[in-house]
């Protein structure tokens, strides 16, 4: 997609607005763009009282220009120019394509942050919903969803002590690669052969991480072992990793200890027994859909029956909370198949049910996805998401955390639902940036959060397992210094 912005406009922000209307687009210079690609031209000027933005969008032989003026006293986002650009974009996109994104001009990953901030400042839920709909063009349905979530989160966050943190441990291996995967996860035989070496290094880093946390006098509230699929590790490897965690923190004092067992084909009774005996309190067993044809098409290499068996084993294991994930919008899955999955899943009553929307990797995938759902009508995936959310609520679940990703089909969201009292706390702490998350392993990013939660620094690990194994002492020391400096000077 061709995008031209005037100097003072944040290009990344303009790109995220483009993606609301042209999901999966890549941005390049005008001369490299093929004929017929969408174009956006964005400019803004400061006026005496605020900012005036003009956006021209062109696609399919049509072109629309819209101008919007925003006064300085904008309430929800302090930057008038940003709001003016967003609103001009919204008007142009609506006029050109007939689309009104349900999240309005909200482009960020964390839509609940704004609602949470407003609630913490003393606004009522009605006032927050009204600001979201009037000032940011969020639909009343999405404004209600996000305000409900923020109000649950507010109660949970109020109990978080100072000088607390969480720990994330990354196992970036999976038995096969799902077609929609955008994580750093490896599934080839050659790469899976390095799991022993990876584990060796990881265990060393887990020990160091807990040492750092002790030096900083922080209390660990949650530990989350994610990936990838941690249960790709065999029983011996898994026991070794969990043993390391147990030697370094009093697991019984944690609020939550999660292990993702995402792929049912990696779960067995023995592994679940090891998890339970190691103090794991929450496990995620996923299928994404109960339609075998769709499972095969997306490369998951397990059947619905295998999921149901794994779920049953997890239920019997004694682990307190079972989460399961669904994805709306998978290629080839329309409303009938998806709603059937939702109904069957709710009958199983997992404590947590996370309803995702497919994230597409490119504009071409988006086209394919639309063709795949045959119904194709725009709105099909939205109908699936609405159905799943309403069914979960009717069955007694409450929405407790939310995030959005770039390029989700129809700009929809991912929402975690829980039976009351079983909320996945790590998810809330991580998504709302409540305290530092110390992350260990390939692809993991530690996020350091200041006491007042206003300053955040990220410390990156190498992305891929091979790079991670080759990391030198110097770089590791740099990372440790960054963490210590943050706590000395910023926290």
Q: Does residue 358 interact with ligand SF4 by CB under 6 A?
A: no
Instruction: Return all residues near 213 (Cβ < 8 A) that are at least 6 apart.
Output: 165, 167, 220, 438
Q: Which stretch binds ligand SF4 (CB under 6 A): 10-18, 223-231, 239-247, 347-355?
A: 223-231
Select the span of 21-29, 53-61, 177-185, 383-391 touching ligand SF4 (CB under 6 A).
177-185
Quick one: 255 or 265, whose CB is closer to ligand SF4? Answer: 265
Q: Answer yes or no whether residue 174 interacts with ligand SF4 by CB under 6 A.
A: yes
Of the candidates 353, 301, 294, the residue with the CA atom closest to the CA atom of residue 323? 353
Query: How many residues belong to the site for ligand SF4 (CB under 6 A)?
Result: 11
User: Which of 86, 228, 279, 465: binder of ligand SF4 (CB under 6 A)?
Assistant: 228
**In sequence order, which ranges of 216-349 are alpha helices (DSSP H)?**
235-248, 269-277, 292-297, 304-316, 335-348
Q: Is 177 in the site for ligand SF4 (CB under 6 A)?
A: yes
Choice from 64, 72, 181, 191 touching ligand SF4 (CB under 6 A): 181
Which residue among 222, 229, 287, 324 contacts ligand SF4 (CB under 6 A)? Answer: 229
Q: In this chain, which of 131, 185, 289, 411 binds ligand SF4, going by CB under 6 A? A: 185
Is 287 a binder of ligand SF4 (CB under 6 A)?
Answer: no
Examine residue 464 and tell whether it contacts ligand SF4 (CB under 6 A).
Answer: no
Site for ligand SF4 contains 443 (CB under 6 A): no
Contact 245, 284 (CB under 8 A): no
One DSSP character per residue, 119-134 reads HHTT--HHHHHHHHHH
Tell whether residue 411 is a contact of ligand SF4 (CB under 6 A): no
Shortest reach from residue 170's CB to ligand SF4, in Å = 11
If binding is defined by CB under 6 A, does position 360 make contact with ligand SF4? no
Residue 43 or 266 having the CB closest to ligand SF4: 266
**Which parts of 236-275 interact with ligand SF4 (CB under 6 A)?**
262-263
The alpha carbon torsion through 207, 213, 216, 220 (nearest 10 deg) reads: -160
Nearest to 298 by CA among 334, 332, 267: 332
Q: What is the dihedral of CA 121, 127, 129, 131, to 10 degrees?
A: -80
CB of 285 closer than 8 Å to CB of 308? no
Q: How far apart are CA 2 and CA 463, in angstroms?
A: 30
The interface region with ligand SF4, picked from 175-183, 406-414, 425-433, 480-488 by CB under 6 A, is: 175-183
What is the Cα–Cα distance from 431 to 107, expressed in whole angstroms? 15
First to last CA, the chain: 41
Which one of the spans 37-45, 221-229, 419-427, 429-437 is the region binding ligand SF4 (CB under 6 A)? Answer: 221-229
Question: Quick one: which segment of 1-9, 174-182, 199-207, 431-439 binds ligand SF4 (CB under 6 A)?
Answer: 174-182
Under rule CB under 6 A, residue 178 binds ligand SF4: yes
Candidates 183, 335, 464, 466: give the one binding ligand SF4 (CB under 6 A).
183
124 CB contacts (<8 Å, ≥6 apart)?
none
**Nearer of residues 442 and 483 to ligand SF4, judged by Cβ:** 442
Q: Are 337 and 383 in contact (CB under 8 A)?
A: no
What DSSP string runs through 193-237? TTHHHHHHHHHHHHHHHHHHHHHTT-EEEEEEEEES-GGGS-HHH
The 3-class secondary structure across 64-101, one letter per residue, is EEEEEEEECCCCCCCCHHHHHHHHHHHHHHHHHHCCCC
CB of 186 vs ligand SF4, minimal distance in Å: 9
Of the pair 194, 419, the CB lying nearest ligand SF4 is at 194
Residues that bind ligand SF4 (CB under 6 A): 174, 177-178, 181, 183, 185, 227-229, 262-263
């Amino acid at each position: 997609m061709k995008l031209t912005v005037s100097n003072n406009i944040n290009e990344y922000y303009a790109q995220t607005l483009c993606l609301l209307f042209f999901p999966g687009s890549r941005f390049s210079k005008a001369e490299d763009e093929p004929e017929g690609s969408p174009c956006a031209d964005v400019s803004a000027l400061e006026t005496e009282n605020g900012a005036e933005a003009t956006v021209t969008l062109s696609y399919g032989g049509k072109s629309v220009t819209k101008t919007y003026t925003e006064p300085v006293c904008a309430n929800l986002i302090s930057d008038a120019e940003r709001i003016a650009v967003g609103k001009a974009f919204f008007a142009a996109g609506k006029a050109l394509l007939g689309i009104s994104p349900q999240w309005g001009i909200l482009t960020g990953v964390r839509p609940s942050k704004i609602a949470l901030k407003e609630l913490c400042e003393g606004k009522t839920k009605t006032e927050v919903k009204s600001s979201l709909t009037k000032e940011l063009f969020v639909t009343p349905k999405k404004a209600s969803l996000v305000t409900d979530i923020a109000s649950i989160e507010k109660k949970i966050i109020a109990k978080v002590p100072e000088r607390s943190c969480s720990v994330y441990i990354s196992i970036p291996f999976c038995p096969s690669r799902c077609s929609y995967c955008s994580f750093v996860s490896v599934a080839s035989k050659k790469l899976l052969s390095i799991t022993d070496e990876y584990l060796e290094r990881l265990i060393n880093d887990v020990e160091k991480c807990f040492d750092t946390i002790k030096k900083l006098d922080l209390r660990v509230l949650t530990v989350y072992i994610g990936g990838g699929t941690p249960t790709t590790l065999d029983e011996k490897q898994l026991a070794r990793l969990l043993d390391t965690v147990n030697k370094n923190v009093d697991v019984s004092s944690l609020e939550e200890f999660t292990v993702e067992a995402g792929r049912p084909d990696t779960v067995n009774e023995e592994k679940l027994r090891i998890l339970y005996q190691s103090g794991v309190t929450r496990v995620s067993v996923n299928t994404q859909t109960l339609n075998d044809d769709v499972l095969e098409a997306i490369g998951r290499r397990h059947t619905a029956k295998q999921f149901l068996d794994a779920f049953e084993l997890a239920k019997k294991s004694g682990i307190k909370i079972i989460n399961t994930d669904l994805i709306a919008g998978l290629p080839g899955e329309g409303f009938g198949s998806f709603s059937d999955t939702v109904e069957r899943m709710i009958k199983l009553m997992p404590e947590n049910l996370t309803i995702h929307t497919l994230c597409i990797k490119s504009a071409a995938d988006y086209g394919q996805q639309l063709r795949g759902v045959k119904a194709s009508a725009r709105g099909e995936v939205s109908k699936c998401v609405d159905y799943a959310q309403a069914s979960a609520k009717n069955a007694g679940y409450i929405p407790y955390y939310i995030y959005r990703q770039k390029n989700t089909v129809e700009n929809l969201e991912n929402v975690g639902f829980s039976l009351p009292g079983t909320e996945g706390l790590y998810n809330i702490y991580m998504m709302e940036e409540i305290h530092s998350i110390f992350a260990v392993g390939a692809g993991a990013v530690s996020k350091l959060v200041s006491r007042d939660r206003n300053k955040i620094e990220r410390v990156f690990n190498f992305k891929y397992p091979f790079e991670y194994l080759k990391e030198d002492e110097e770089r590791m020391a740099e990372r440790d210094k960054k963490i210590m400096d943050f706590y000395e000077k910023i926290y």
